């Protein structure tokens, strides 16, 4: 059985998808953009600040599910420019200080709303 989850502490979906879907003990979090949930505008700053906003949004969705970033087992990071990898990686590390999840990182041709970064995740909730 699947359960759609959403919170106003993260940006609303910009298309026909759910912020997250829970099925059993798995939580699938849709790709999060670096948007402030109140203004629906991109967070100011460069890739580090925008990565922090994405992961803050993700943490809010996890909290709604009774979980935290510590429960994330896999992320996929999509970057507009792979030259931003080092700065993204440093900001990302602040959110996963120990036992970080498995991760894939790709440079993509274009992201929704011309974002610099988008991150999706899978978490296990016990």
| Alpha carbons 53 and 55: distance in angstroms, whole number | 5
pLDDT tens, the chain, 126 aa long: 999 999 999 999 888 999 999 999 999 999 999 999 999 999 999 999 999 999 999 999 999 999 999 999 999 999 999 999 999 999 999 999 999 999 999 999 999 999 999 999 999 998
Domains of the chain: 2-124 (3.30.1330.40)
How open is the CA angle 35-32-55, to the nearest 5 degrees? 80
pTM, rounded to two decimals: 0.96
| Alpha carbons 84 and 78: distance in angstroms, whole number | 11
């Amino acid at each position: 059985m699947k359960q759609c989850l959403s919170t106003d502490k993260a940006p609303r979906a910009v298309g026909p998808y759910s912020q997250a879907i829970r099925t059993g003990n798995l939580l699938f979090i849709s790709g999060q953009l670096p948007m402030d949930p109140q203004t629906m505008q991109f967070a100011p700053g460069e890739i580090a600040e925008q990565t922090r906003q994405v992961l803050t949004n993700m943490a809010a969705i996890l909290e709604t599910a009774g979980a935290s970033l510590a429960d994330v087992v896999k992320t996929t990071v999509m970057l507009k420019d792979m030259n931003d990898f080092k700065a993204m990686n440093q900001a990302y590390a602040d959110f996963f200080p120990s036992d970080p999840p498995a991760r894939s990182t790709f440079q993509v041709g274009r992201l929704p709303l011309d974002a610099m970064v988008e991150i999706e995740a899978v978490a296990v909730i016990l």
